[in-house]
Amino acid sequence: MQLDAFDEKYHVPMLRGDNNKTWKELILLQLGCMDFDYAIRKDEPPMPTDNSTPGVIALYEWWEQSNHMSMMYIKTLIRVSIPDCAHVRDLLKAIDDQFESSDKSLASTLMTKLLSIKFTIVKGVREHIMRIIDLADQLKALEQIDFSDAYLVHFILHSLPYQYNTFKISYNTHNDKWSINELLTMCVQVKERLLLEKSESAYMATQGKKRG
């Protein structure tokens, strides 16, 4: 089957540090559709001898061609340094091993960023919450940590500054559980109320000085 016969949605991208799992799924799909995945699915058959039957010889040649063509195809889609392998199964395992180590390192970095994230007035509450959600989604994509919505709600609330203390107490004293979207909406409303109260306080202080 020719490559240009594939639907565009099955196009296999170059292998990067953040797409290993999707890349492998597409590689296996592509090779299967091209009928080059036999060497991935089956062990290498015994090498034929002078006494082998035509069927045994044909089976080995099929496996050998599958192994050769699939390895050639995979190598056109990787730029990382991978140890030389004689079999496509070994090549795929070497890629998995390399990116498993990379995934763990990236997960550690993302977790450090998540735990050290600080609220800043400049970026605002919406940007703060979206940053936490993004880091949690990246960790989930790596299949390292899957945060529940309930945990993220508590984590976000805990990360908010003291100006939101009344809001936090209100949440803790009610039985209702909020979704991430509900929390985001309510935090934005609290922010707007805080800004309004600050403006009113500034206005009252100005009026007081004028009267004085």
Sequence ranges of the domains in the chain: 3-101, 117-211
Cα dist. 120→30, 77, 126, 180, 184 in Å? 47, 42, 11, 20, 16
Tokens of 179: 């979704």
Q: Tens digits of per-residue pLDDT, 79-91?
A: 878 888 999 999 9
pLDDT at 197: 60
Q: Cβ(147)–Cβ(139) under 8 Å?
A: yes
CA atoms of 85 and 92, how far apart (whole Å): 9
Q: Tens digits of per-residue pLDDT, 22-76?
A: 889 999 999 999 999 999 999 999 999 999 999 999 999 999 999 999 999 999 9
Cα angle 21, 25, 27; round to 5? 115
CA atoms of 200 and 170, how far apart (whole Å): 23
Total-model pTM: 0.56
